[in-house]
Structure 1
Amino acid sequence: MEGKQLIVRSIYSFVSMFLLGFRLLVTEAQSNYVGDDCSSTTPKSLSSEYKDNLNSVLTWLSSDAATSKGYNHNSFGNSTSGADAAVYGLYDCRGDVSGYFCQFCVSTASREVLQRCPNRVSVITWYDFCILRYSNENFFGNVTVDPAWNHTGSKNVSSSEEIQKGEGFMRSLIRKATVETNQLYYMDGFNLSSTERRYGLVQCSRDLTREGCRECLETMLAKVPKCCEHKLGWQVSSASCLIKYDDYIFYLLHNPASSVPYTQIARQKGGSKAKLLIIGLSVLGAVALLCFSVYCFWFRKRARTGRRTGGRIPETIRLSSYHNVQTEETLNPDISTIPLITILQSTDNFSEASKLGEGGFGPVYKGVLPDGRQIAVKRLSESSGQGSEEFKNEVMFIAKLQHRNLVRLLACCLEEKEKILVYEYMNNASLDFHLFDERKKRQLDWKLRLSIINGIAKGLLYLHEDSRLKVIHRDLKASNVLLDDEMNPKISDFGLARSFEKGQNQANTRRVMGTYGYMAPEYAMEGLFSVKSDVFSYGVLVLEIICGKKNSGFYLSECGQSLTLYAWKVWCEGECLKLMDPVLEESCIESEFVKCMHIGLLCVQEDAADRPTMSTVVVMLASDMMSLPKPNQPAFSVGRMTLDDASTSKSSKNLSINDVTVSNIFPR
Structure 2
Amino acid sequence: MSKPAVRRIHCDKKYSRNMCAMAMAILLLLLLLLPLAAAQWQSCDGISNYTARSTYETNLRLLSSALPKKAASNSTLFATGTAGDVPDTVYALALCRGDTNASACEDCVATAFKDGQRLCPYDKGATLYYDPCMLSFSDQNFLATNDNSGVLLLMNTQNFTMSADSARLLLFNLLNSTTQAAVNSPRRFTTSRLDVGYNFPTLFCLMQCTPDLTAAECAACFQDFPQITLQYLDGSQGGRILGRRCSMRYEIYRFFQGDPLPLTIVASAVPATNNTAPGTPVAVYPQPQAEPKTPVGVPPPEAQTTVQEQQGRNSKLWVIGIAVPLLLILLCFIFAIVWIRRRRKGKANLQNQAAANRGGEDALVWRLEEKSSDFTLFDFSEILDATRNFSEENRLGQGGFGPVYKGQLPGGMEVAVKRLASHSGQGFTEFKNEVELIAKLQHNNLVRLLGCCIQGEEKILVYEYLLNKSLDFFIFDGNRTTLVDWNKRRSIVEGIAQGLLYLHKHSRLRIIHRDLKASNILLDQDMNPKISDFGLAKIFSSNESQGSTNRVVGTYGYMSPEYASEGIYSIKSDVFSFGVLLLEILSGKRNSGFHQYGEYLNLLGYSWQLWIEGSWLELVEADIAGEIHTTEARRYINIALMCVQENADDRPTMSDVVAMLNSESVVLPEPNHPAYFNLRVSKVHESASVVDPCSINDVTITVEPDGR
Flag the structure with larger Rg: 2
* TM-score category of the 2 structures, normalised to the smaller one: 0.3 to 0.5
